[in-house]
Amino acid sequence: MTDKTTLDQKLERLSASGLAPGGAHTLSGNADDILRRILRQIDDIVLPRSLRLESAGRRVVTCDVTARRLVRVAGLGGAVAGVEGQTLGDDTMHEPLRAYFEALVASGAPLQATVTELDRAVEAGEMGVSARALADAWGLPLEPRALLTGDRLIETLVNGLGDAVLAWRSDGATPQSGGSDELAQDLTALPLGPDTPLLPPGISPAMTAITLADGEVAICTARAADTTLALSVKAAAANDVLRLWRQLTG
């Protein structure tokens, strides 16, 4: 049985590209290269983190990121109006955001990038803008994401839900389980794998949340690539599960 602490450690190991909190690295190249690398950094950050970018001129921009989405930026202090303090989910923010980051990278000097824990909660309504949407809008396409295997997506979901998860079990390249032993036993009765009747056949990503007749517990099942998951949460948390799933897969 693997508990969530072990999973967290595994997740951090997977984030070996300097994206674990405290990881620092240099982004260099021409302005477009640096912009693309910033987007790549954002695209690799799944759990809530703050990406701190510092230029040679000591200008510092802080990017709040969760679920591969840029939620908020701060630091240039009005160099590009209407960006700082805004939630960034609207398409009209694509160009102002580009101007904002160009103001940071204009000199072509390398940036020092540091990832830290996010020191504020990300609200449910703060969808932000995905790195891939920005990359498309800016004409700086990103390579396909390599790290986000089904196993990793499922792990990230379980980690992101924290104590809301009563018990869970996954079936994929690395079958795992955790949470309450007693409730985990109940989950072993659920059929997982590619043919589970609890998910629409052949569709990924997919998730269901079923509130049992007692009204106390919800059983959620999910498929990401070849990995399927069953987890139990308090019924009141079912919407949170779906919300996080949408953020991770949207």
Partner 1 sequence: MDVTSHLDALRRTHPGVETAAFVDFQSGTVLCSSTAIAPPQEFLDALCTTATDMLSGPAGAAQHAMMLTPTDAVVLQRATAGASEALCLVCAPDSDLETISTAARQTAAEISGSGA
Binding site residues, partner 1, CB under 8 A: 189-191, 197-200, 203, 205-213, 215, 219, 221, 238-239, 242, 245-246, 249
Measure the CA–CA gap between 231 and 169, rounded to whole angstroms: 6
Q: How far is the CB of 218 from partner 1 (least distance, A)?
A: 9
Measure the CA–CA gap between 147 and 45, rounded to whole angstroms: 11
Considering the complex, state which of residue 24 and residue 124 has its C-beta at the smaller distance from partner 1: 124
Considering the complex, state which of residue 12 and residue 186 has its C-beta at the smaller distance from partner 1: 186
Q: How far is the CB of 200 from partner 1 (least distance, A)?
A: 6
Considering the complex, state which of residue 34 and residue 220 has its C-beta at the smaller distance from partner 1: 220
What size, in residues, is the chain? 250
Considering the complex, state which of residue 81 and residue 189 has its C-beta at the smaller distance from partner 1: 189
Omega before residue 96 within 30° of 0, cis: no
Measure the CA–CA gap between 146 and 17, rounded to whole angstroms: 12
Considering the complex, state which of residue 107 and residue 239 has its C-beta at the smaller distance from partner 1: 239
* Contact predicate 77/84, CB 8 Å: yes
Considering the complex, state which of residue 45 and residue 207 has its C-beta at the smaller distance from partner 1: 207
**Measuring CA to CA, how many Å separate 49 from each of 34, 55, 156?**
19, 19, 13
Q: How far is the CB of 208 from partner 1 (least distance, A)?
A: 5
Q: Helix or strand or coil: residue 240? A: helix
Measure the CA–CA gap between 4 and 127, rounded to whole angstroms: 25
Q: How far is the CB of 207 from partner 1 (least distance, A)?
A: 5
Measure the CA–CA gap between 197 and 33, rounded to whole angstroms: 46
* Helix (H), strand (E) at residue 6: helix 4-14
Q: How far is the CB of 128 from partner 1 (least distance, A)?
A: 15
Q: How far is the CB of 156 from partner 1 (least distance, A)?
A: 16
